[in-house]
Amino acid sequence: MATISIFISSVQKELAEERRAMKAFVEGDALLRRFFTAFLFEDLPAADRRADEVYLDEVDRCAIYVGLFGNDYGYEDKDGVAPTEREFDRATLRAKPRLIFVKGTDDKVRHPKMRTLVRKAGDQLIRRRFATPTELTKALYASLVDFLEDRGVIQNRPFDERPCIDATLDDIDAAVVVHFVRRARFERQFPLPEGTATADVLAHLNLIREGRPTHAATLLFGGDPQRFIPAPKSAACISMAPISNGRCPFTACSKETCSSRWIKRKISSSRLSIAASVLATRALRRLSHSRFRLPWFGRRSSMRLPTAITPRQRPRGVLRNGR
């Protein structure tokens, strides 16, 4: 993904150390540097442009506005407004995510207009106070990690429980869901009736997060899972639906090498994709341990994954009756 630009706004002279510390921290941290870049106005070369035009354009381009408020208000233009306040107002107008850090706890020593700006920011969002650059970078780190988690870039949930960011309910194959419900009702007394909306079926199975199908839902019910979860030819093959047009919906393997009843691995001359195999297996296992068990698996404790299966084999531990 493209790096996310952070615009650092403050009175330059007063908070020069903190500004440099923030940029160095973002560029030096192993996690943050993968996703963020920090912009400092003083790093720009000389140019034949008005300073106020440049910094406002940079606010427009950035993805995150970070405001450092100290004691000084800074240079005031003809309207009596300093660049720091202009930048804050522009970020507000453009609906940019704003992170505000206030240096010190004694607001009485601040310039009257800076006190007003701190109060204005406090009326709109949560501020954080700091005393040293170290405290500032720790607070910044926590805020940026929250930013990444909110957007699903990094997750604490297991892979199969995470929402598939690029997928929508339109990417779920309704025919597969219908087949699933029909078979589940016949074999395991699945409580939802045939004809239940796809979204309701996925919600019942806990396969929707934040309005999107999870990775498990995409693997199990997606019309084209490889669009969202790429796997090489040697990846584990999972098919929940009847093979349509002689092709498996997950890896497009041929009818001769895949059966909708079994979980199996297609082994090619290239290295087996262990990661894909583990993730796909885990998705099925977690689903089988939820409030409803997959209809073609028996007792939960008997669910095993053989290293290789052919359609004519009846693998141990995956028998329909659980024996």
110 and 229 belong to one structural domain: no
Residues 6+ apart with CB under 8 A from 91: 7, 9, 59, 62, 65, 67, 98
Domain of 55 in residue numbering reads as 4-150
Into how many domains does the chain fold? Answer: 2
* CATH assignment at residue 51: 3.40.50.450
pLDDT of res. 85: 96
Report whether 38 contacts 27 (CB < 8 A).
yes
Co-location of 178 and 135 in the same domain: no
Do 67 and 84 share a domain, yes or no? yes
Same structural domain, 105 and 243: no
In a domain, 105, yes or no: yes
Residue with tokens 């030819």: 233
User: What's the pLDDT score for residue 256?
Assistant: 39
**What is the model's pLDDT at position 215?**
83
Per residue in 77-126, pLDDT (tens digit) is 999 999 999 999 999 999 999 999 999 999 999 999 999 999 999 999 99
Q: Residue 290: how many CB atoms within 10 A of its CB?
A: 13
Residue 250 makes CB contacts below 8 A (sequence gap 6+) with 219, 225, 226, 231, 237, 238, 239
Residue 95 and residue 203 share a domain: no
pLDDT recorded at residue 320:
44
DSSP state, residue 254: B
**pLDDT score at 279:** 44
Query: pLDDT averaged over the chain?
Result: 76
- Record the pTM: 0.56
For tokens 């004519």, what's the residue?
A: 312
- Of 212 and 281, the structure prediction assigns the larger pLDDT to 212
Most confident by average pLDDT, 76-85, 185-194, 244-253? 76-85
Q: Which residue spans within 77-198 are E strands per DSSP?
A: 98-103, 127-130
Spatial distance between the Cα atoms of 200 and 146, rounded to a whole number of angstroms: 30
What tokens does 33 get? 């540097």
Give residue 96's pLDDT.
96
Average pLDDT for 280-299: 43
Max mean pLDDT range (125-134, 190-199, 307-316): 125-134
What does the alpha-carbon distance between residue 59 and residue 18 come to, in Å, rounded to a whole number? 19
Q: Which amino acid is at 159?
A: F
- Name the strands in the sheet holding 127-130, side by side, starting at the edge strand that comes first in the sequence: 36-39, 4-9, 64-69, 98-103, 127-130
Range 57-82 average pLDDT: 95
Give 62's contacts (C-beta < 8 A, 6+ positions apart). Answer: 5, 6, 7, 39, 91, 96
Q: Is pLDDT of 227 > 70? A: yes
| Angle subtended at Cα 162 by Cα 288 and Cα 293, rounded to the nearest 5 degrees | 10
Domain identity same for 122 and 92: yes
